[in-house]
Amino acid sequence: MANSAALTCPCCPFTVLPSDTYVLQLHFEQLHTPDSPFKVENDPEPLPPSLPPRPSSSRPKHVDADTPSDSEDENSVLCPEPDCEELVPLDEFNEHLDLHTAESLTFDEATGKYHHQPAGKMQALTSTTTGSSKIPSFLEQNFSAELPEALRNQHGGRKLKKKTRGRGDSSGSGKSTLSRSILSFNPFAKVNKIVKPPASSVRLGRAELGPHAWEDRMPKWLHKQLEDGQKVTVVNRIGRDGRLIKQEQVQNETPGVIPILAQLSALDRSVKEAYYCHPSTLHIGRTPKEGGFCGYRNIQMLVSYIQGAHAQGLEEFPGRTPNILKLQDLIERAWDKGINEIGRQQTGGIRDTRKYIGTPEAQALFLSSQIDCAVEMLNDSPDGQIEAHEQLFLAVEKYFMQAAVKDGSNVYKTLLPPIYLQQPGHSITIIGFERRKDGSCNLMIFDPMYHTSPAMHRLIGRKNIRTSRPEVLYAYRRGSRQLRKHAAFEVLM
């Protein structure tokens, strides 16, 4: 375009193209109009300094090309609860906060109301909640933490990817699946399934092993915390015969929860049948700021059954529940014996690290201790007719039914071991099963991410509970709503 066609400021040589008339007007207002509102003088909030250049994208020498970058964490958020520090996918954030709120649930016998004491302002949850199959969550009753519409938009703009704390990927259906399957371990592949031998380099990264996939040693303060073990206190209580009883309490271990859950299931009129595992199984939770040790905590819960029931392998676990450092040594010992030894290549070794573990490591530990166990993988059917969570419900119900003894009650208390359940991004311990009158199902679980609430502690030891407590059951139930988002599970029985 010729220079004659350009527009020139009447007060100075500044020129713009004919299509930029607004630019010329803004220039005139800012530089040549004394009282212009567009003129910036003595700005009380100056612009922040420019950001430093981004670090080089070159990877550490031990990181392969498949290691995900930090940008892939953009769809996860750090839990705001003190001492949690868990990286939570956005689509699970509401429920994660709900379960933290359930940790602080208390019951006031005088008023008949439930209360909880989270950091935010929340109203009391009364005990008038019915035993319907859909119990409103704590956060739903007080405030909404739903994602803004702009973040949830699935039509305009970029879709959010499912992020599952480093242990899952998104399948084509948008459901998360296991990124590291037991089926990759040749001796344990399903019948008639052809498994290719592992590549010479099978080292896994953050997608499978979590944010500390490449660390050589965990922080010294955490190592000392794990080495020292959980705080043990001795309390005095009066027994039924009037005698003084000294009882030990371990910081993150809660005995006696299963008998209470069995009573509460029996009192819930919506429950048709329920099953529970051996009552000696402890609920073992996390300790402050420890990170993603859920796999180890679930192994500890299975070991607590072995110790309490004097089951197979008892001699391998004398004394108190083995700590995480001891479990790491046992897994490394299993690899030394050649059991699931590819796990060492995949992880680079786990001793004194915070790398995530899963079903392969749990299986290796038990097999090396001469403890019989079996692993089963459950996937969405290829035709989409049967979802993985439906198969999971059927498998768990069948497992418990084999030991159910009819005694006139709709709640069957078995002596079976609990079940290790690996789902994408997290693992939990299945301690029971509920089938409701409307046909829906619940897994009854111990989640190592959360602690036992004061409301549950008040009930422990009671044998004559007479009122239903769905608010207490909330933290221990996992139904279709929570499980159907996953396309695969692994269970170790």
Count other C-beta atoms under 10 Å from residue 91's C-beta. Answer: 17
The confidence band for 41, taking pLDDT boundaries of 50, 70 and 90, is low
d(CA 268, CA 270): 5
Mean of pLDDT values over 18-27 = 74
Higher pLDDT, 474 or 185: 474
- Check 426, 441, 451, 486 and give the catalytic one: 426
| 426 is an active site residue | yes
d(CA 286, CA 134): 28
pLDDT at residue 167 tops 60: no
Q: What percent of the chain has pLDDT over 90?
A: 44
d(CA 428, CA 417): 14
CB 213 within 8 A of CB 205: yes
| 115 is an active site residue | no
Note the pLDDT of residue 17: 76
pLDDT at residue 257 tops 80: yes
CB 378 within 8 A of CB 393: no
pLDDT tens column, 342-397: 999 999 999 999 999 999 999 999 999 999 999 999 999 988 889 999 999 999 99
Distances in Å between the Cα of 338 and the Cα atoms of 129, 188, 372 are 53, 13, 17
SS3 443: strand
Higher pLDDT, 92 or 66: 92
d(CA 191, CA 205): 29
Query: Where is 133: in which H helix or E strand?
Result: none
pLDDT at residue 65 tops 80: no
- Check 96, 447, 451, 486 and give the catalytic one: 447
CB 435 within 8 A of CB 270: no
The confidence band for 37, taking pLDDT boundaries of 50, 70 and 90, is low
Place of tokens 């099953």: 275
Place of tokens 């009882």: 247
Q: Helical H runs in 163-291?
A: 206-209, 220-228, 257-267
Q: Helical H runs in 371-477?
A: 388-401, 454-459, 470-473
Q: Which of 25, 14, 19 is nearest to 1 (CA)?
A: 19
The confidence band for 2, taking pLDDT boundaries of 50, 70 and 90, is very low
CB 114 within 8 A of CB 106: yes
Residues 6+ apart with CB under 8 A from 302: 281, 362, 366, 417, 418, 420, 429
Task: Burial-class residue 303 by CB neighbours within 10 Å (0-12, 13-18, 19+).
Answer: buried
Residues 6+ apart with CB under 8 A from 437: 270, 271, 272
d(CA 125, CA 9): 68
β-strand pairing of 271-276 with 411-413: parallel
pLDDT tens column, 411-423: 999 999 999 999 9
SS3 465: coil
| 447 is an active site residue | yes
- Strand-pair partners of 358: none
Task: Burial-class residue 302 by CB neighbours within 10 Å (0-12, 13-18, 19+).
Answer: buried
pLDDT at residue 164 tops 60: no
pLDDT at residue 279 tops 90: yes
Q: What is the DSSP letter of 217?
A: S
- Check 100, 277, 283, 294 and give the catalytic one: 294
d(CA 106, CA 488): 35
pLDDT at residue 46 tops 80: no
Question: Rounded to an integer, what is the distance from CA 302 to the centroid of its chain?
Answer: 18
Higher pLDDT, 380 or 14: 380
